Structure 1
Amino acid sequence: MRSPVRRRAGGALVVGALLAGSLAGCGVLPPMPDPVPADIVPSAPADLSPAAGGDALSPDGFDAVERMAVRIRNVGCEELSTGSGFAVDEHTLITNKHVVADSKDLEVSTYDGHDITVGATSTAGLADLAVVRTTDPLPSFPELADADPEPGDPVTVVGYPAGGELTVTEGEVMGTTRDPLNANLGEVLLTNAPVEPGSSGSAALDAKGRVIGVVYAKTADDNSLLVPLSTLQDMLADDTAFTPAKGC
């Protein structure tokens, strides 16, 4: 008789303001969160420009945001986890390393429920980042910003908390802080845009809808942590930054 599969939410990692030694340099996935309240609905960000490779925005500014985000279900070696990701070109997704870790199978779907066939997956050694190549074309992808944001700049996070419906949350960049989970990474962005388990791998966008970072964790006081755009760009340009992901 097979034992039941354990489940976890591969969402935003939670870190305290003062970290215990067991968390230094290692992200521990949280347990499955409570069910998402039924009264939570996506909020439409204002003034987002059309995503590169996508159609123009509808009047409410929401369609292009929906098209660029994906839901990721990691059917793992021992358990199931969920996370988010976003396209950077027609066949490339960005997400977190911990979202795709220990995977037997990755199931990727778009905002309208269309399944995307996954090819190769690579993970970074330095930051909590992963690159997923797809054989199916992705419906839309955003532009990257020209530079990292400044404190006070607005930020919009687009993802699938708890593996549920696509949600858009807003806040602002609070500044930078030393990465509490990856000691060698250096400075990361701190924002007050709300994220939850399942938000990991979400794109963080500026007021023009351009990517400024990648959500990878939340703090104990409910702030969100982002891998900065500059780090993402540097690693994508480095042929040695990513290596094939290990499965079961």
Structure 2
Amino acid sequence: MRVRPGARCSAALALAAVLAGCGVVPGPPPPVPTSVVPPVASATTAADVSPDGFDTAHRIALRLRAVDCDGLATGSGFAIDAHTLVTARHVVDESSSVQVSTYDGHDVVTTTAEIARDADLAIVRTRDALPVAPELADADPAVGDRVTVVGYPLGKELRVTTGHVTRARDDPLHENAAPVLATDAPVEPGSSGSPVLDDDGHVVGVVYAKGQDDTTFFVPVSTLQSMLDDEDAFVPTPGCS
């Protein structure tokens, strides 16, 4: 989700009652908060601790800053291979450049960005190697399954929150052609593009919006995988219009 006035990421993360729409027609997004400390999970998934003290969940998440027509947009993302990362489409869709940094503060040079035609998803290619890439789950999570969200709300420090899948529904924002999933794991603007993980540390979705009732919406892994398998699913970012 973007952190700038009028950014759709913020809108996506602060929609009306149904996350960027969720059951009702979404209203205008509220002002972007200047100080937010979202809850931190008491435990993370896949606690495979590296020598530098970070577990797998923390090493997965990437922080994005996209320079676009209106200024600076912030978001989150995760690697799917050594030189490709996934994020939300609205984080980078009007960007002239994308800056990426890792959990340990290293900057990663990017080369190109592409956005999905029919989903709020994007891929960014990098020149430099990315850190650990999580596995994609074989199936979408079911209602009631526990999930963990790892990202950089407000473009600041990394946060890990947990919750459960609460329902599936059509996208209230009409950004995704396929149904999306909802969770009560809390997020804030800047969390768009965050990976949603299951208890095995596998990616089961990608965060793209939040409703006024604090529902978090994410694109399920089945949609992400179908887009990655379709060579025509992504097109170059249009840049400033």
Superposition TM-score tier, normalisation by shorter sequence: 0.7 to 0.9
Q: Deviations over 1:194-226 (max 9, x none)?
A: 011000000000001000000001112101111
Match of 1:144 in 2: 136
TM-score if structure 1 supplies the norm length? 0.84
Contact 1:176/1:187, CA 8 A, preserved across alignment? yes
> How far did residue 116 of structure 1 move?
0.3
Q: 2:111 aligns with which of 111, 119, 131?
A: 119
- Report the structure number with the largest CA radius of gyration: 1
**Residues 200-215 of structure 1 aligned to structure 2 (within 5 Å):** 200-215=192-207
SS in 2 for 1:15: coil
Q: Deviations over 1:220-240 (max 9, x none)?
A: 210111100000000100011
- Change in CA separation of 1:196 and 1:149 when aligned onto 2, cut-off 3 Å: same
Alignment partners' CA distance in 1, 2:86 and 2:119: 12
**Residues 61-80 of structure 1 aligned to structure 2 (within 5 Å):** 62-80=54-72
Contact 1:151/1:175, CA 8 A, preserved across alignment? yes
- Change in CA separation of 1:175 and 1:103 when aligned onto 2, cut-off 3 Å: same
TM-score if structure 2 supplies the norm length? 0.87
Q: Root-mean-square deviation (CA), in Å?
A: 2.4
Contact 2:89/2:115, CA 8 A, preserved across alignment? yes
Query: Stretches of 4+ moved more than 6 A in 1?
Result: none
> How far did residue 42 of structure 1 move?
4.3
Match of 1:15 in 2: 15
Matched, 1:167 2:172: no
- Change in CA separation of 1:62 and 1:193 when aligned onto 2, cut-off 3 Å: farther
Gaps of 5+ in 1: 1-5, 50-55
> How far did residue 19 of structure 1 move?
3.4
Bigger mean CA deviation after superposition, 174-183 or 124-133 = 174-183
Count of matched residue pairs: 229
Gaps of 5+ in 2: none
